[in-house]
Amino acid sequence: MSVSFRVLARDEKTHARQGVLQTRHGKVDTPVFMPVGTAGTVKAMPHEFLEDLASQIFLANTYHLYLRPGEQVIGSQGGLHRFMSWKGPILTDSGGYQVFSHRSLRKITEEGVEFRSHLDGATHFFSPEKSIQVQQTFGADIIMMFDECTPYPVSEREAKESMRRSMRWAQRCKEVHDSEGAALFGIVQGSVFLPLRRESVERLCEINLPGLALGGLGVGEPRLLMYELIADLEGLMPQDKPRYLMGVGTPLDLLFCVKQGMDMFDCVLPTRNARNGTLFTSVGRIRIKNTCYRYDEGPLDPHCGCLVCKRYSRSYLRHLFVSGEIVSSILNTYHNLYFYLDFMEKIRQSIALNSLTEFEGRFRERYTESA
């Protein structure tokens, strides 16, 4: 097994666990937030800054890297780690999410999906086997099964069909997967239907994969429905394997889901918001372009210890953003990732001290998440 997972502490009042995921390229302390590095780089973050932030693992998108620079370029250099010059753990997604959500979609069959590149319109074909082969060429530490990310809303009948096909694809992924290589994680589908989700978990447990992800959430369904499902699934998912909630979410989403026993998260929110000038602070999100910051000499967040908050004023950050300076994206991304990573670090400490509820109380005293 190329990853091992150990739960080190459990919070008594919730289902939260604090653990460690050991990979071939180092350990990952969980619960973990994984920044998104779509094209083999976290946008606006040189690796040097990611290392400064002690970010342990990031997610790269197979779809994007497959189209550019392509398997051959990355493969000829022995994989993503060497290509990017990144020594730590990497997780790649399967490409499924992009293939299904881009308008480039051509045709889904039992065999796989034909799609068009968003770059040049060329036709490509992804199957479970192809996705695993590409991901293995990329050489990430954790790779994901090829699944259909069921859209929302969807009828129960369609959701069942889609989930069952994904589960057949999971089996095919497992069959071609090199068990000496990356750890292959399964993805639970079934939309908002608990019986389908349960069936999907059971099916993936039979296939026996070293980690389970929840897919197809945060795709437009009401947030409370997502919360309910995650709470219900907690009892159904194996306790001894890492649980990864894909593509979610806000700080309060993360906190809620940690309390439901989720261990891993990825989301474009902190990085994309940063580039759009929306910054996470201890009181909530702020839009740095607002006129009220024009003369504001104070730090972005007086409770933040990051280099941006220690050095720069809101007035300067606003100026950089309004002027469209690249440095605005860099500093904003640095701060937002610091916020997310620091938040997860405090969550891990609180679980270890059995005081997650108290942490949440203190956090919510100041923090308001606007819709």
Would you name the residues annotated as active-site residues?
93, 266
Residues 78-137 touching a copy of itself, rule: CB under 8 A, are: 83-85
CB of 301 to a copy of itself, least distance (A): 16
Asked if 313 interacts with a copy of itself (CB under 8 A), we say yes
The tokens for 18 are 């604090």
Q: How many residues bind a copy of itself (CB under 8 A)?
A: 39
DSSP secondary structure string, 297-329? -SBS-TT--SHHHHH-BHHHHHHHHHTT-HHHH
Which one, 167 or 308, has the nearer CB to a copy of itself?
Answer: 308
Which position among 10, 47, 223, 272 is part of the footprint of a copy of itself (CB under 8 A)? 47
| Residues 2-41 as x/- pattern, contact with a copy of itself by CB under 8 A | -------------------------------------xxx
Can you name the residues that pair with 368 across neighbouring β-strands? 284
Which one, 32 or 330, has the nearer CB to a copy of itself?
Answer: 330
- Tell me which amino acid residue 47 is: H
Which position among 295, 298, 361, 364 is part of the footprint of a copy of itself (CB under 8 A)? 295
Asked if 312 interacts with a copy of itself (CB under 8 A), we say yes
Which one, 117 or 313, has the nearer CB to a copy of itself?
Answer: 313
CB 221 within 8 A of CB 215: no
Q: Compute the distance between CA of residue 94 and CA of residue 73 in angstroms, rounded to an integer.
A: 18
CB 45 within 8 A of CB 329: no
CB of 325 to a copy of itself, least distance (A): 5
Residue environment code for 201-233, b if the CB has 16+ CB neighbours within 10 A, otherwise e: bebbeebebbbbbbbbbbbebebeebeebbeeb
Residues 318-347 touching a copy of itself, rule: CB under 8 A, are: 318-320, 322-323, 325-327, 329-331
CB of 328 to a copy of itself, least distance (A): 8
The tokens for 212 are 């389970």
Q: Compute the distance between CA of residue 241 and CA of residue 256 in angstroms, rounded to an integer.
A: 19
Tell me, rounded to whole angstroms, the distance of Cα 293 from its chain centroid.
32
Which position among 45, 214, 237, 351 is part of the footprint of a copy of itself (CB under 8 A)? 45
